[in-house]
Amino acid sequence: MSASPVICVGGENLIDHVTRDGEVSALAGGSPFNVAMALGRQQADVRYLTPISTDTWGDTLAATLLASGVKLAGGRVDAPTTIARVTVTNGIPSYVFERDGTAERSVTAASMAAAMPAGTTALHTGSLALTDGADAEAWEETCKTAYASGTLVSLDPNVRLSVITDIDTYRARIFRMIKAAHVLKLSDEDLEGLCPDMPQDAALAHVRSQTSASLVVMTKGPDGAIAMRGDNTVNIPAPPVPGLVDTVGAGDTFMATLLAGLARTDALAPSALDGLDAAQVEALIRRAGMAAAINCSRAGCNPPTLSELDAAMAAVG
């Protein structure tokens, strides 16, 4: 590519206090934060729109993004860092969040518009940022405005029903937002949370009927992923994970790699998405799956660099 497209990412940043086998660690995290970090490690031109705290934990978060090549477009604010209490059982994490009055919620539609550089190619968000409150409303407005302006909008709801107090309002927001998205990525668990009591095939068909997204991808953990672009449907098995440590950040790494792949193939634009064929979609999803597998072989969210991912892909042909 002659120039790297600017990808803006926004949503929660936090510290994961992780308890695994009785041992406690503190790791930088948050789904959109992880996406930004993974994009930076794949040498994308990525701007992180959400403010980061000026406290000690915020220093850790800021340093993590900067070390990965991410530009801090949202700046720093004098509010505490969000904390996630994570318990990992058999490699699977469960979460409790402490978010009231924290830095990552200190956003408005105006502040995000000011943070986004002119000529932004794509905007990605999702997860806790969309759960409730004025910040969720600001993100919805920001995505709607970006979509209307022709900016590619990418959405990963990363549904956390256990922390949502008004589930009906939350689901309604997500279904509004998928009407103003070009790329929609969700997991099989997300789909179940959005469409309870529906068989998976029917739920996926319902989501596709409601979204404007040209590219819809659903990850299925150890069962791989399915991608839908127009009339093309691609099913990809999950690559093996030698020495599984945990799945923290695997979906975020997958999401980032999908966006990075679109950018590197000049397809990070609404019109270009419409031209993707089945072979191109398969290549994108295989690469995203490999990145997620590498992440799962490490503790916490620790996405591969571009060179690490290229080497892993070369090894499998």
| 195 has pLDDT over 70 | yes
Q: What is the arithmetic mean of pLDDT over 189-198?
A: 96
Confidence of residue 22 (pLDDT cuts 50, 70, 90): confident
pLDDT bracket for residue 44 (50, 70, 90): very high
The region of weakest confidence among 6-20, 70-84, 183-197, 302-316 is 6-20
What is the pLDDT at residue 219? 97
Distance in angstroms (rounded) separating the CA atoms of residues 178 and 180: 5
pLDDT at 31: 96
Is-contact 158 127, C-beta < 8 A? yes
Tokens of 124: 């990605």
Place 1 in a pLDDT band, splitting at 50, 70 and 90: very low
**Residue 247 in contact with residue 93, Cβ under 8 Å?**
yes
Round the average pLDDT of the chain to a whole number and report it. Answer: 94
What is the enclosing helix (H) or strand (E) of 18? Answer: strand 14-20
**Cβ of 311: how many Cβ atoms within 10 Å?**
12
The region that residue 266 occupies, defined by phi over 0 for left and psi between -120 and 50 for alpha, beta otherwise, is left
Evaluate if residue 259 carries a pLDDT over 60. Answer: yes
Query: What is the per-residue pLDDT for 166?
Result: 96
Type of residue found at 34: N
Please, which pLDDT band fits residue 249 given cuts at 50, 70 and 90? very high
Q: For residues 263 and 44, is the Cβ–Cβ distance under 8 A?
A: yes
Cα 13 to Cα 4: distance, rounded to the nearest angstrom: 25
Position 25 scores a pLDDT of 83
Residue 24 has pLDDT above 90, yes or no: no
pLDDT at 221 over 80: yes
The residue ranking higher by pLDDT, 163 or 34, is 34
For the entire predicted model, the pTM comes to 0.95
